[in-house]
Structures are given as C-alpha cells and as structure tokens.
Amino acid sequence: MKFGGSSLASAERIREVAEIICSFPEHYPCIVLSAMGKTTNLLLQAGQEALRVAPGAVPSLAPLRTIRELHRRTAAELGMGSREDIESLLSEMQQLLVGISIMQELTARAQDSLVSFGERLSTRLFASYLRSQGVATRQHDAFSIGMTTTDDFQNADVLYAETLPALKAALARPPGAPRAIPIITGFLGRGINTGAITTLGRGGSDLTATVLGAALGVEEVQVWKDVDGVLTSDPRIVKEARPVPMLTFDEATELAFFGATVLHPSAMQPAMQVSSLDVRVKNSYNRKAAGTLISRDRDMTDVLMTSIVLKTDVTLMDIVSTRMLGQFGFLAQVFDVFRDNQISVDVVATSEISVSLTLDQSKIWERDLIEEEIQSLMSAFGDFAKVSCTHNVSIISLICNVAKTSSILERVFRVLGRESVNVKMMSQGASKTNISLIVADAEGRTVVQALHDEFF
C-alpha cells in the first residue's frame, strides 16, 4: 500500500492512514510512504535559498523552519513528544544545507540527498505512531534494503536484476520471527556505482510500490491518492469527469506519459514483469470509493473511449527533406539529431520525406533558454532538411479502443467541425490504446470538454 504526500499532510491524515492500514486484518501489508504534504517542494526551495545566504543564516531559512515545525508539531499531536530519530534527521538536513551554502553549489547528487529527508522523516514518524498504537512495525530506507538504480541523479532508473532479489531477501521474515509491518521510503534508491542516494523522479513512490509488489510476489499493489481513481479526464478541465473502473497496464502507461498525474509513467513496468500483480488506485479521503483496478488485460468488447488527456505548452516541429523522394536514411538522420542532443519526442507522424513531431519543452529545456535551444536544435539538421517550429500547441490523447478507430474518429471530427477547430497533426500507430491530436493551446480545453461531452 502506497500513500502520497497529501494523504500524510497532518496528524489527522496520519491517523486516518493508520486506520486504513489496520482495517485489513486478514492482510499484513507492506507500506510505502511519500514525504508529508509539500515537504519535497520546501526542501527544493531550501536548497535554492541556501545558495543565496551565508552559512550562519541557514538555520533561519523559512522553508527549513516550516519543515521542522511541521514534523515536530505532528509528532506532538500524535502524542509522541520529541523524537530523537526525527531530531537527528532534522539536524543532518540542516548540516547539508550549511554545506551547500559554504560550497555555493547545489549538484544533482546533493539535491537528491537533500530531498530524501522528506521520506526519511515521514516513514520514521509514521512507524513510531503505529508502534505507539500497539502495531509492530519496522522502518526501512529503500536505499538500505536493495533498491538499486542507475546513477542518473533526480531521475534514476531501477535496475531490476539487482533490486528484486535484494528486496525480497531483506524483507523476508525468518521462521518464527515476530511479524512487523514494513514502512518503506518511496521515491529513493541507491546508485549502483556511486553508492549515493538517488531519486526516481517526481511521483516515484508509485514506482517504489510496484517494484516492491513485484519483488514480494503480492497479488495487488494499492496506490492511495486524493482522487477516486483514474478519471475520464482532468477534473480541473471537465467537472463531470468520473472514475474509470478498469484499465490495462498499457492504457495506464499511456495516460501517465501524456499528462494524467495520478500515476508515475514508469510505475507499470514492474507489474508487467509479474503475471499475477494488479495495481489498484484508491482514495484515502474516500475509502468506500471502488477506485480503478489496473491489470494486464480486460474485456474491451464494449469499450469505446476510456479517458481524454490534455498536455499543454508543447512545441510542434515539422522536418522536411531537402532531397528527392526515395532517399533512404532520412529518418535515421532525423532521429540521430535528437539522440545527439539527448531529446526525446512525444508524438510522431511520418511520410517518406517529412516528419512531424512534438517536444515537451517542460522536460527538456531551461525556461529562459527555450528559443536559443530550439534554434540550436534546428541548425543541427544542416542541409539535409528544412525545419519549422510551432509553439504553444497541445496534445489531446484519446485513450480508447483503437480497434474501433472508424467509429471514434467519425465522432471526434464531427465535434471538431462543430467547434471550428483544425487539427495540426494526428498520430495513431504502434500504440493500440492511444490516438493523439495536436491543436492550438488556446483550443485545447474547449476541445477536451466537447469530446468528453460527446463520449461520456
């Protein structure tokens, strides 16, 4: 069972989560926790502010004070008073910030160490509370029990061959030993070569939970959020959005990659490797909601549209060969440019002499350098292609039953015609679950609402 930051935002929420865990007496769950509330954001803010102040001013930084007060107040409200393990971590965190201030440098490695304090604090606090309620627990830092990753700080990949057997061995209960619920840090791992703390990217606690599920051979991983499951669209855009009862792993992965924030994009990978593992999204604020069950397969007979996702602020790039038809190697040259610049693309449409594709600038570029970096990228195509860019476009991803494409697209284009919206690009190919439409940013929300009205 994994619980996110909003589920752990206060003493009241922690009591509720403890109650949820204890309401499954027939199971002995393994628990993965995120940092409390907005702690990760506060730690990132503290790191930036430490670069701008003298070392002596670090203890009084506002974000650091907020983190200290939150954890001390929560411990007191849970009836635990001052906790030596919490105070020790708070002191270590402050020392790291002082070091950042002295060095006037915040490396990716140091930032991963800094943000790790959120999960390390929340798991110790929660494990202590459960013990105070008579529930046997053991707190574990994931990086200490075998969660092994690449050394790509801030967005490391899990190394499954090393990780799965190590986690299984670390969490196995010796015969006759007393049972204790494992409380494990989400989001964190250890770099295979550096031995340093790494992080799995934003939302990486979901991935921690499914990795543990695969390692332990459990039947179900429950990801507890603050919504009633995966929804038919973003409720901030479509007020009538409602939970989707069932999804496949492929559908859930496409949803996550194209903007749905309920699950980490890589969280389905471990589940796909284990035939018997399902993932269920539940709401910690509304326990009685059925949630969304995500599994390997589902009956698609009556499924037309599953969910509609909007991804805004995207750049569309059109690349046209300057040579004649029949030029083999054109696509290879195009994608060599993206490989050399370490840029991935979202959506692609191709012909023999042209390629249209989208780039998510929020993932790739510094906000104040986007134009310069795009010009540099365009010049890399040299004399073998002409390149043009269109900024401020949106990807509308239709997670649907692609076997019924004709029926779906007939209705989609009827809606687009009614709304007087022109599609700049469309992609439907290798994915059997996703049709992507590119429209102007200014039209994106209107189109999503209109399509939701049509299909739901």
The pTM is what?
0.87
| Phi, psi dihedral angles at 34 (to 5 degrees) | -85, 180
Task: Report the 10 Å Cβ neighbour count for 248.
Answer: 20
DSSP symbol at 321: E
Per CATH, 2-214 and 306-455 having the same topology is answered: no
Q: Which residue ranges make up each domain of the chain? A: 2-214, 219-298, 306-455
The class that CATH gives domain 2-214 is: alpha beta
From first to last of its 456 residues, what are the pLDDT tens digits of the chain? 999 999 999 999 999 999 999 988 788 899 999 999 999 999 999 999 999 999 999 999 999 999 999 999 999 999 987 789 999 999 999 999 999 999 999 999 999 999 999 999 999 999 999 999 999 999 999 999 999 999 999 999 999 999 999 999 999 988 888 889 999 999 999 999 999 999 998 779 999 999 999 999 999 999 998 889 999 999 999 999 999 999 999 899 888 878 767 787 788 889 888 778 999 999 988 988 989 999 988 988 889 999 999 999 898 999 998 875 556 778 888 889 888 887 878 888 887 788 999 987 665 555 556 677 788 888 888 878 899 989 899 999 999 998 899 999 999 999 999 999 999 999 886 667 899 999 999 999 999 999 999 999
> 152: Cβ–Cβ under 8 A, 6 or more apart, which residues?
198
SS3 string of 222-258? Answer: EEEECCCCCECCCCCCCCCCCECCEEEHHHHHHHHHC
The CATH H-level superfamily of 306-455 is VC0802-like (3.30.2130.10)
What's the CATH code, domain 219-298? 3.40.1160.10
Rg of the chain over Cα atoms, rounded to whole angstroms, equals 24
375/182 Cα distance (integer angstroms): 51
89/139 Cα distance (integer angstroms): 14
Identity at 346, one-letter amino acid code: D
